[in-house]
Amino acid sequence: MKKLLGIVVFLLILYGALLFADPGARSAGNHYNLGERIGLNGILTLGAGLLIITGGLDLSLGSVVGLCATTLAVLLVDENWPPLLAMAAVLILGASIGLFNGLLVTRLGLQPFVVTLCGLFMFRSAARWVAGGKPKGLGTQFVEWKQLLAGSFLGLPIPLLILMFLAGIAILFLHFSVYGRYFYALGSNERAARYSGIATDRYRLMAYVLCSTLGAFFSILLLMKYNTATPSTTGEFYELYAIAGAVLGGCSLRGGEGTVPGILIGTSILVILPNLATMWGVPNELNNFVIGGALLLGAILDEVLRSKGAAGRTGPG
């Protein structure tokens, strides 16, 4: 709870600084853009956060986004698939990738870092092969779907509304169901969870499938928003932003820690930071430096608080 309160305060400070940085930051247009980016990035970060809580990691998530977005564009334009069928196929592709990663980790005992690092290269290469190395766009087609998935409703960005819906489901699952407690138990101590009767392999597989499926869903929204998928760059480094957002939001890379509200707050911080840097006149080339510095500061503070908490528990009584 203290960690969540701390990142809420940090978010409020950033938002306050943004409002006073430039009059344009207070405009409805800027707030709409922020909401849209939080909605899009939050979906990816939510998937990464759920996986991290179980002690897993997916470095291939950005490449999965690139492959799924490229595949969707090819199915819609080149193969003339019906939109619903093409989107369903892309979601199945994402789930299959998650299942593939999860099986390698659970059945063969490979390290998640190694498995997903290999996937990062494999799925990016597959995206280039699917598209023949060329960008794939939707042109002026599928206007209704673009409005439905990337437009607005009651003045709010639809991606943000979708994120709120998915976050509500994730809260019920993670914080109010026995399966969510299994996720935390798996991340805290897998051996103890297994000895207590939890089917650890099954829930780790579930986490990988959820992560990649949300990545595939994100790719659908991304394509509808930006209209084009470039196989060599679409989704590039997105896995790092997703992991960073989850960690900033209180998820521990050791596993067993994190909350859905924290993940949403971490996403918001990562979206507001570059916007604030731009308003302050920081060169675009240094945006990632600002984000990396904030993430490093958060990690240092988290370790300091963790050490103090441990010292307090073991101190003289």
* Calpha distance 10→262 (Å, rounded): 12
Q: What is the pTM of this model?
A: 0.90
The residue range of the domain holding 231 is 41-271
CB 65 within 8 A of CB 225: no
Written as six digits, the tokens of 176 are 């109010």
CB 258 within 8 A of CB 52: yes
pLDDT value of position 38? 93
Total structural domains within the chain:
1
* CB-count exposure of residue 124 (10 Å: 0-12, 13-18, 19+): buried
Cα angle, residue 215 at apex, residues 146 and 30 outer, rounded to 5°: 55
Spatial neighbors of 217 by CB under 8 A, at least 6 apart, are 43, 91, 94
End-to-end CA distance of the chain: give it in Å, rounded: 24
pLDDT value of position 308? 67
pLDDT value of position 171? 95
* Calpha distance 222→231 (Å, rounded): 13
Question: In this structure, is residue 279 part of a structural domain?
Answer: no
pLDDT value of position 264? 94
Question: In this structure, is residue 8 part of a structural domain?
Answer: no
The interaxial angle of helices 287-314 and 260-279, nearest 10 deg, is 140
Question: In this structure, is residue 33 part of a structural domain?
Answer: no
pLDDT value of position 316? 55
Count CA atoms within 13 Å of residue 151 on its CB side.
9
Question: In this structure, is residue 282 part of a structural domain?
Answer: no
* Calpha distance 84→76 (Å, rounded): 10
Question: In this structure, is residue 79 part of a structural domain?
Answer: yes
Give the number of other CB atoms < 10 A from CB of residue 261.
16
Per-residue confidence of the chain (317 residues) as pLDDT tens digits?
A: 667 777 788 788 888 888 887 777 778 888 899 999 999 999 999 999 999 999 999 999 999 999 999 999 999 999 999 999 999 999 999 999 999 999 999 999 899 999 999 999 999 999 999 998 899 999 888 999 999 999 989 889 999 999 999 999 999 999 999 999 999 999 998 889 898 888 999 999 999 999 999 999 999 999 999 999 999 999 888 998 899 889 888 888 888 888 999 999 999 988 888 877 777 777 777 777 877 777 777 667 666 766 665 565 555 54
Spatial neighbors of 19 by CB under 8 A, at least 6 apart, are 25, 26
* Calpha distance 238→2 (Å, rounded): 28
DSSP code of residue 256: S
CB burial readout 216-246, b (16+ within 10 A) else e: bbbbbbbbbbebebbbeebbeebbbbbbbbb
The interaxial angle of helices 28-53 and 178-188, nearest 10 deg, is 70
pLDDT value of position 56? 93
Written as six digits, the tokens of 3 are 């960690």
Question: In this structure, is residue 251 part of a structural domain?
Answer: yes
Q: Looking at the DSSP assignment, which residues form a beta bridge with residue 157?
A: 152
Question: In this structure, is residue 17 part of a structural domain?
Answer: no
Taking the CA atoms of residue 114, residue 208, residue 190 and residue 240 in that order, the dihedral angle to the nearest 10 degrees is: 60
Q: What is the largest CA-CA distance in the chain?
A: 71
